[in-house]
Each structure stands twice: as structure tokens, then as C-alpha cells.
Amino acid sequence: MPRPSPSRSPSPSSPVGGVTSPRISVARKPDATRTTARSAPARHQKTLGFRVWRVHGAGRMALPHTHPDVEINFLFDDGTVTYFHSGAVATIPANRFAVLWAGVPHQTVPPGIIGEGVWITLPLPWFLQWNLPGDFAHRLLSGQIILGQPAAGERAQLERWVGDFDSGTPARRRVLLLELEARLHRLALEQPTRRGRRHLPGADAAGSGQIERITQFMAEHYREPLAVPTIAEAVGLHPKYLMRVFKKHCRVSVWEYLTQLRISHAQRLLITSDLKVLDIAMESGFSSAAPFYAAFAARSRGLKPLDYRRRHRPTAA
């Protein structure tokens, strides 16, 4: 995905579809794309956090990458974006609210992004807390790109969201999040109840299916006490094999990925609630304060939890 402009991108964790099959143009990978995308190791990034920014065209990415966020793309007018995602090339058309899981390796490929649009990233724990109906979350984690039907006024709403985010005003960002949650709920309700919508098959079907099960299990249980043997038993894999295949596909260890999910959850609670730090640590899946503080500082540029809250909530005590 294109990087947000520095002028439009506060810190990564700033606060606060249609009934018919999506018309994603899916093609088997051309030889050149296949060789490059499959041979290049994916870069695993920490969560980009909650961000909303405008995009003005971009070429292909040098390498595929992953980041544990739900990503939303919306191209204006006649714009398009072409991705290598979950093992296939897909072109997303203009004026469609497109949602994808960025925790699988993906990159833009020629012709890349054509025209202008709006990009949104949302940390996975935030997304999961919204409890969207149906199997919407499962479809995303399995590598599907879900499209909404063209809707009147959607471009104006997306442009308003950019303004709300850029304002830096907590009240406007909270409204933005509420509207985004409602939009995703509506998109989930528009989906057919049956499974089997077109999706992009993984280049390594076995590995992709295993990663799907692992990430989904962790996404659903990261606030509980978890260890690799527990995860392995739940997904039917040997613990050593699980660690190896996860590192191979995601370029990050199981423990690092789990910790990032928990920290992202804690960051959201710091911004959106008045819970005490210890309560947030427990709610986010940490067994005690010490490992929480250490992990938080490592993933929040050295900030302590209360300093993080003050920075993102100026009115906080």
C-alpha cells in the first residue's frame, strides 16, 4: 500500500458492499509478476494504526509487505489499483469501497494506483471489537477482497473523513470511527449468507490455509492466556512446525505477532476509555504489568502508557 504523506499522518495509533459478487478483475499471475512477487521476501511492518489519507497515484511496490491492519481503498472517478494479494493479481475498480486484510503479503503491481482516492488503515483488534455480522472477518482473514456496491455520496463521505482525521480533533475522529463502523456493518449485512464469494487463492494453498487458521485463532483469542502449544493444538499443527511456517509466511514470530495484537488493543483502550493502566494490561491479554510496560515501550517509541494517553488525548489528566 502507498505510504501516507508525513503531513497527513500523525502517529500510527492516532485516536480517536454489494449483494452481487464483487467485480474484482482477477487474473492468474503473469510470469514476470509471479517470479518477482513470489521470490521477494515480504516485509513485515508493525501496525500502521488508525490512519486516513489521500492517495495521488503510485507505481508498484518494490517488495510485498504485511502489516496487521484492515485496509480500505476507495478510488475516485476512473481510478483503479492493482494488487498482488493472497497469491493472485486483482484490479479494484473506481467508486467501490474495497476492504482487505493487510496481514497477508501484498503489494501494488503495474499499473499500480491510477488516479486519486482515499486509503484507510484500521488495527485488527479495533476491527474485531466491532463484531461485524456474518463471516465478514473470516472472509478478510482468508484473503478475500470485499467490495461494496457504488453508493451515492460515498466520495463526499470519504473526503469528509480525510478532513476529520487531519483535523486532529478527538471529537471529530470519534465521529469518523462511528461512521466507519456503521459503513462496515452495512457492508457486512449486504454480503450473501452463503460462503464461496470469489476470493484470491494463495500461492501456497497449504501454507496460506495454515496462516489463515493461525491468525484467525490469535485474532479471536489474543486477550486470553496463549502459548504456542495452545495455538498449535487449536489449529492442528505441531508447535515447532507452526512456528516455522508462521515465520516463513509472515516474517515475524508467533509471539511478536501476538504481542502486537495485544499492544494495539491496549493503545485503543488508552485512547477511548478511562480504564486504569493495569486494567488495560489485563484486558489486552497480559498476565502482569511488567511485560506489558516493556512491550508497550518497545512498540510505542519508548512512551509509557499514560504518556501515550496524554499525547493522544490532550484533555486526559
**pLDDT digit string, tens, across residues 126-138:** 887 788 887 787 7
CATH number for the domain that contains residue 308: 1.10.10.60
Q: Is the model's pTM score more than 0.75?
A: no
**Hey, CA dihedral for 82, 181, 195, 264, is it positive or negative?**
positive
In this prediction, residue 239 carries a pLDDT of 97
Question: Range of 28's domain?
Answer: 6-190
CA–CA separation, 317 vs 306, rounded Å?
9
In this prediction, residue 67 carries a pLDDT of 82
In this prediction, residue 87 carries a pLDDT of 55
Tell me: do 163 and 218 sit in the same domain. Answer: no
Tell me: do 168 and 271 sit in the same domain. Answer: no
How many domains are there within the chain? 2
Is 200 within the bounds of a domain?
Answer: no
Tell me: do 184 and 92 sit in the same domain. Answer: yes
CA–CA separation, 207 vs 213, rounded Å?
10
Q: Which residues of the chain have pLDDT under 50?
A: 6-42, 195-203, 316-317
In this prediction, residue 234 carries a pLDDT of 96
Tell me: do 214 and 287 sit in the same domain. Answer: yes
